[in-house]
């Protein structure tokens, strides 16, 4: 084998290893940054609520909750019940809905979850909620006081900056939220 061919083989091997290392570290950075997700944009959520708020106000939450009550006997039952709830939402709100799940925090708040991104070390969640008394709410950061940054825009951050909720009024009784938990 000629020296020229050996040099080419060594170069190709080193280049392949370097590309592999770069791809591996890019994948790790992508995952740590919350890579995969289905988070909806603020604009899309505002538009959806403004087009559908009358239908959303009538969402049959009690009927939704009756699907697959706890306790689950096995994991397959849990998955089946989750699918039934997703099907219920699509049947009621339409196949093109951005709503993935619905949760009542109390008698005043009905949260519509619209997606997120992240992993165990950091997650971001988006959606909107109906506030019967038309006041902003801190959702998972319940018990913390939201600070009004501008008219209709509220925020709370933890002292260490690891948790944040931003909520903005869409229209009377309806609020957008983005929640960051790191």
Give the tens place of pLDDT for each residue, 68-103. Answer: 665 556 667 666 777 888 899 999 999 999 999 998
Q: What is the pLDDT of residue 51?
A: 97
Mean pLDDT is highest, among 24-28, 34-38, 166-170, for 166-170
| 22 shares its domain with 69 | no
> Residue 7: pLDDT band by 50, 70, 90 thresholds?
confident
Tally of domains in the chain: 2
Euclidean distance between CA atoms 180 and 163, whole angstroms: 6
Domain that residue 88 falls in: 34-181
Q: What is the pLDDT of residue 120?
A: 62
| 103 shares its domain with 132 | yes
| 19 shares its domain with 80 | no
Q: Who has greater pLDDT, 14 or 152? A: 152
| 57 shares its domain with 98 | yes
| 27 shares its domain with 88 | no
> Residue 50: pLDDT band by 50, 70, 90 thresholds?
very high
| 135 shares its domain with 89 | yes
| 21 shares its domain with 64 | no
| 10 shares its domain with 50 | no
Give the pLDDT confidence of 25-34 residue by residue, as tens digits. Answer: 555 544 444 4
| Structure token pair of residue 163 | 């948790």
pLDDT at 57 > cutoff 80: yes
Mean pLDDT is highest, among 32-41, 61-70, 98-107, for 98-107
Mean pLDDT of 138-158: 87
pLDDT at 5 > cutoff 80: no
CB 179 within 8 A of CB 141: yes
First to last CA, the chain: 56
Mean pLDDT of 157-164: 85
| 38 shares its domain with 118 | yes
pTM comes to: 0.75
| 13 shares its domain with 60 | no
Strand partners, 37: 117
| 22 shares its domain with 66 | no
Q: What is the pLDDT of residue 33?
A: 45
| 3 shares its domain with 86 | no
């Amino acid at each position: 084998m000629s020296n020229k061919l050996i040099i080419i083989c060594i170069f190709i091997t080193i280049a392949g290893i370097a590309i592999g290392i770069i791809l591996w570290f890019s994948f790790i950075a992508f995952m740590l940054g919350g890579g995969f997700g289905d988070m909806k944009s603020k604009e899309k959520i505002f538009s959806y609520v403004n087009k559908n708020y009358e239908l959303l106000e009538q969402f049959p939450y009690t009927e939704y909750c009756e699907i697959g009550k706890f306790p689950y006997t096995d994991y397959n039952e849990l998955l089946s019940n989750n699918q039934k709830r997703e099907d219920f939402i699509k049947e009621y709100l339409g196949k093109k809905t951005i709503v993935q799940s619905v949760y009542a925090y109390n008698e005043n708040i009905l949260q519509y979850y619209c997606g997120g991104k992240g992993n165990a070390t950091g997650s971001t969640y988006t959606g909107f909620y109906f506030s019967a008394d038309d006041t902003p709410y801190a959702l998972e950061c319940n018990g913390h006081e939201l600070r009004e940054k501008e008219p209709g825009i509220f925020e709370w951050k933890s002292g260490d900056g690891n948790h944040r909720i931003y909520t903005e009024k869409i229209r009377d009784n309806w609020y957008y939220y983005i929640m960051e938990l790191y």
